[in-house]
Amino acid sequence: MREIELKALAKINLGLDVLGRRENGYHDVRMIMQSIYLYDDVKIERKTAPGIELSSNLYFLPTGDGNIAYKAAQMLMDEFEIEEGVRITLNKHIPVAAGMAGGSSNAAAVLFGMNRLFGLRLSQEELMERGVKLGADVPYCIMRGTVLAEGIGEKLKVLPSMPKCTVLIAKPSVSVSTKLVYEALDSSDIIAHPNIDGLMEALEKGSLRGIASCMGNVLEEVTVPMYPVIEEIKQVMKDCGALNAMMSGSGPTVFGLFENKMAARNAQSRIREKALAKQVYVTNIHNARRD
């Protein structure tokens, strides 16, 4: 095998709770993550000349070791003393700096692809152990599906698959630093914690309406006051028939869950007409796991 092409899926957070802050600065979280069918195309090619070449369709992305996908390739090349080089091409569609784990998903795809391409025979668990060294979301992006994440996000438990529905994604034209959002959050001040247990019960029952009613994200307390457009987008989605709408991760991306695809299309048009966001996508839940 000389090359491999992969889809690096985006994620949304159905629920995101922060329990406290560790001495090392990391936060203990409890959240439910879900893959959606919005993805970056990742192509990895073997080349005889040593080293890593990385290119992207986005001019502003770093192409050296400042890119997490580059770091993922370097990690495995160093560990397994791979003398050949690789050429990595990222065709980005997932909004950047948007709370959708685009970078982490790219890194996960590179770990998965390098494992296949060079016959390293690492298990999924072994890939995840390496992924957490790159970022807290990388192990989840290797696993994908409907998952409870605890600890700093690295302790993962597979949950019953989320019922199929239409998902509307809207990313306003602002970028949010995950690090700054978490630093600004005082977990002791959080009054309304999302109902993570209720979410898990709704998933067990396969109840989309139950899931929607239990959604919550404590990071909205920090990000929404900074960027009120997030609340405006949420309201448009709800006005157009979303069962619920919420910010994903540290934002600023908003997602809405819809039973009716036409209602989601209507919300998409309204958001664009109001110039609340340029990147607005109608997609769906993706439950298939990696083989």
Dihedral sign for Cα atoms in the order 80, 105, 39, 286: positive
Flag whether pLDDT at 186 surpasses 80: no
What is the per-residue pLDDT for 289?
65
Identify the CA nearest to 270 among candidates 19, 72, 262, 248: 262
Give residue-wise pLDDT tens across range 142-152: 999 999 999 98
Of 11, 92, 171, 234, the active-site residue reads 11
The mean pLDDT value for 65-80 works out to 97
- Cα of first residue to Cα of last residue in the chain, in angstroms, is 17
* 40 is annotated as an active-site residue: no
Flag whether pLDDT at 31 surpasses 70: yes
The mean pLDDT value for 170-194 works out to 82
Flag whether pLDDT at 19 surpasses 90: no
Give residue-wise pLDDT tens across range 239-290: 999 999 999 999 899 999 999 999 999 999 999 999 999 999 999 999 976 6
Alpha helices in the chain (DSSP H): 68-79, 102-117, 124-131, 138-143, 178-184, 196-205, 208-214, 220-226, 229-239, 261-273
Flag whether pLDDT at 233 surpasses 70: yes
Flag whether pLDDT at 291 surpasses 60: no
Task: Compute the mean pLDDT over every residue in the chain, rounded to the nearest whole number.
Answer: 94
What is the per-residue pLDDT for 27?
75
Of 40, 92, 137, 234, the active-site residue reads 137
More confident residue, 245 or 22: 245
Give residue-wise pLDDT tens across range 75-126: 999 999 999 999 999 999 999 988 899 999 999 999 999 999 999 999 999 9
What is the per-residue pLDDT for 176?
83
pTM recorded for the entire structure? 0.94
What is the per-residue pLDDT for 284?
97
> How many C-beta atoms lie closer than 10 Å to residue 281's C-beta?
21
Flag whether pLDDT at 184 surpasses 90: no
Model confidence at 211, pLDDT cuts 50, 70, 90, reads very high
What is the per-residue pLDDT for 187?
63
Alpha helices in 118-177 (DSSP H): 124-131, 138-143
* 137 is annotated as an active-site residue: yes
